[in-house]
Amino acid sequence: MQSWIDHFPELSGLEPELRATLDRQSRVVEVPRGTVIFGPGQAPDAHLMVLEGVVRVHQVAENGREIVLYRVHSHESCVLTTACLLAYEEYSAEGIAESDVSAVAVPRTCFEEMIGRSEVFRRFVFAAYSKRLTDLFVTIEEVAFRRVDLRLAQKLLERQGEDGDILLTHQQLATELGTAREVVSRQLQEFQRRGWVAVARGRVHVADAAALEAFSRSA
């Protein structure tokens, strides 16, 4: 019978005894879309690894402004959970199921045993941690130093569907970029004036992807 471990190629070299321990002690959980999986002030009791679906991790500042830190996709682990487990800290951000999610929860005791005994598991955990930390530094750099209009153009290209539609509100786009809704609205109006997008309630349609692409790379 196939185990959830087979969904993670990086764990293929697990020692048989430790593989059996990990398989026996962990559990697969199903989380409906929109569920708050964790939030500030909570302490994790398990390491989270996504099998199917997407978890959005975002942070809310004291002034109410939000920013998306990262997303955990299929066959990835949540590095904020990893950090909190290792440091015995509480969460400082919120994780929400952006779709229906199937995930594996590895209890703290099992996680600590695997970290201590298995080089394969340890390498898997810290490789994911290192990659996500690098991604977060890129996000910080973009928010701090890159123009919002350039980042918005890039985000529209990333989030458009096959038909060119982005089913996000101005507020949701602002959250993605870590800026104010008014800034996004103003910039979308400018993009629409140039003929690059068409803006409707709760939706943005990319009308000229090539122009947006060229603009996003212009500085």
Length of the chain: 219
161-182, pLDDT tens digit by residue? 889 999 989 998 988 888 888 9
146-164, pLDDT tens digit by residue? 889 999 999 999 999 889 9
Q: Where are the beta strands (DSSP E) in 135-209?
A: 165-166, 197-200, 203-206
Provide the token pair at 67. Answer: 């920013």
pTM reported for the whole predicted model: 0.74
Give the model's pLDDT for residue 214.
Answer: 93
- Given a cut of 60, is residue 1 above it in pLDDT? no
The CA-to-CA distance between both ends of the chain, in Å, stands at 52
Q: Which residue has the higher pLDDT, 66 or 34?
A: 34
- Given a cut of 60, is residue 218 above it in pLDDT? yes
Query: Percentage of the chain with pLDDT > 70?
Result: 98
Of 4, 2, 7, 11, which is closest to residue 125 (Cα–Cα)?
11
pLDDT mean over 24-52? 95
DSSP codes of every residue in 113-149? HHHHH-HHHHHHHHHHHHHHHHHHHHHHHHHHHS-HH
- Given a cut of 80, is residue 81 above it in pLDDT? yes
